[in-house]
Amino acid sequence: MRFLDLLRLIFGNLSRRKARVALTAIGVVIGTAAVVILVSLAIGLQRNANEQLYGIGDLTQIQVMPSFGEGPVMVGPGGGGDGGGGGSSQTRLLTNQALEELRAIPGVEWVSPREFLMAGGMVRYRKLEGWVTIIGVDVKDLASLGMEAAQGDTALGRSIIVIGPMVANNFYDPRLRPGQEPPPPPDLYDQQIQFIVSKWDAQGNETRKNLSLRVTGVLKETRSESDWTIYMPLEQVKALNEWAQNRRINYNKEGYSQVIVKVRDVNQVLDIADQITEMGFQAYTPQSFVQGINNFYIILQVIFGGVGAIALLVAAIGIANTMAMSILERTREIGLMKAVGATNRNVLAIFLGEASGIGFLGGLGGVLIGWLAGQVINVMAVVYLSNQAGQQGGIPPSVAVYTPVWLPVFALIFSTLVGMFSGLYPALRAATMIPVMALKYE
């Protein structure tokens, strides 16, 4: 029997019993719609959470820090990585050689060392003062580290700095009297700020160094370390550290305090972080946290999908009942089919096809209704959540219910399979009927 003839026969038979097919399919419509809406909701929640988490930092970056064995390491002047209390065999420092090893890991896009200012540093703008974190980075433009500017640009130069959006909040008026209103955070963009670095000798005498820095860019808020940081060229921070420590620092021996490893594919981040840990360094990535969150949402999707599947199970019983009734009513027709040469397989295919057809039609309706309902919920929920975010602060969600392309396709295939399995027993009964008994059935 030709496949097209089989399809035509199946849909012809279904259209003969429109009302019954429609009533049976309604169960499948409800079940499929429930699966689509609930799983879309779980996926929407996951995307929302990921959007918020992606704000924490670039998930393709791994922070790598040196490992000092089991105890803390004190690196003295001229000392190497093997100094201090850590077990020398487990100490790995971020030397230039180590950086090359990190660059050689497949999937790594770039490796960039960072250095913190290891001295007391205070910033001053007009009559305001503040304490800040200063990080030196080995790039000419922060854009190459994935950072974006909210004001100005991200290019760095000698005494040309880019600051995080929250840096201005660290400024205070030292002459402020109790009860006085604190001044609002200053707008530091395109301003000159004074940076005072201090060091103390063995007798406790302070030596200060004044630098005048130009703020040429303010970064976009990411709710991460960069919000509170002043970025300077690496060489300038190195020079300040050497000035503060009164010695020349050999980075080939002592290594950098931190290195950022950028990974090409977000899916490789955890593998590469593991490799870095195996190499003896400390690796931190927010990806492991995100993965934990994602695992939770996958479980949520399965639970939500399961709730919808229960509705589909009820619908499956309806299909089985409809098919059993249909086969009883059409017993003589089955006998005739066999008399004119239909094989058991032909009969099985026809009745399985009809059951699958009910599942398919119900699934189609369910997918359509589920998708439409998802869109309506989405519009309403996004408006509501945006208002909430506006009132309480935070990032407004871009989506509440998200239906990926695979979900309707999966739901349609699943509902068709549910139909097919529901029709299996009645169809087998039809296929194995003795022709003469079927023809004589009253």
Contact positions vs another protein (CB under 8 A):
1-2, 5, 9, 12-13, 16, 332-333, 335-346, 434-436, 439
Q: CB 16 → another protein: shortest distance, Å?
A: 5
Distance CA 165, CA 149 (A): 9
Q: CB 372 → another protein: shortest distance, Å?
A: 33
Q: CB 434 → another protein: shortest distance, Å?
A: 7
- Which has the closest alpha carbon to 150: 210, 92, 74, 218? 218
DSSP-assigned beta bridge partners for residue 283 = 64
Q: CB 352 → another protein: shortest distance, Å?
A: 16
DSSP-assigned beta bridge partners for residue 123 = 130, 195
* Other beta carbons within 10 Å of 18: 9
7 or 380: CB nearest another protein: 7
230 or 352: CB nearest another protein: 352
Q: CB 346 → another protein: shortest distance, Å?
A: 6
Q: CB 430 → another protein: shortest distance, Å?
A: 13
Distance CA 289, CA 16 (A): 56
Q: CB 440 → another protein: shortest distance, Å?
A: 9
- β-strand 258-263 against 128-131: which pairing, if any? unpaired
Q: CB 422 → another protein: shortest distance, Å?
A: 23
DSSP-assigned beta bridge partners for residue 113 = 259
335 or 363: CB nearest another protein: 335
47 or 338: CB nearest another protein: 338
166 or 439: CB nearest another protein: 439
Q: How far is CA 392 from CA 74, 161, 207, 395, in A?
A: 45, 32, 46, 10
- Long-range interactions of 433-436: CB distance < 8 A, separation 24+: 433/331, 433/334, 433/335, 433/338, 433/347, 435/335, 435/338, 435/339, 436/335
Q: CB 331 → another protein: shortest distance, Å?
A: 11
Distance CA 269, CA 165 (A): 28
Q: CB 340 → another protein: shortest distance, Å?
A: 4
22 or 279: CB nearest another protein: 22
| 4 burial via Cβ count (<10 Å: 0-12, 13-18, 19+) | exposed
Q: In the chain, count of helices (H) and strands (E)? A: 12, 14
Distance CA 420, CA 316 (A): 9
* Other beta carbons within 10 Å of 428: 15
Q: CB 388 → another protein: shortest distance, Å?
A: 57
238 or 338: CB nearest another protein: 338
Torsions phi, psi of 22, nearest 5? -65, -45
214 or 345: CB nearest another protein: 345
- β-strand 282-284 against 61-65: which pairing, if any? antiparallel
Q: What is the dihedral of CA 54, 58, 60, 63, to 10 degrees?
A: -130
8 or 158: CB nearest another protein: 8
Q: How far is CA 156 from CA 110, 119, 140, 150, 164, in A?
A: 18, 21, 5, 15, 13
351 or 402: CB nearest another protein: 351
- Contact at 8 Å (CB) between 245 and 120? no
Distance CA 326, CA 339 (A): 19
115 or 333: CB nearest another protein: 333
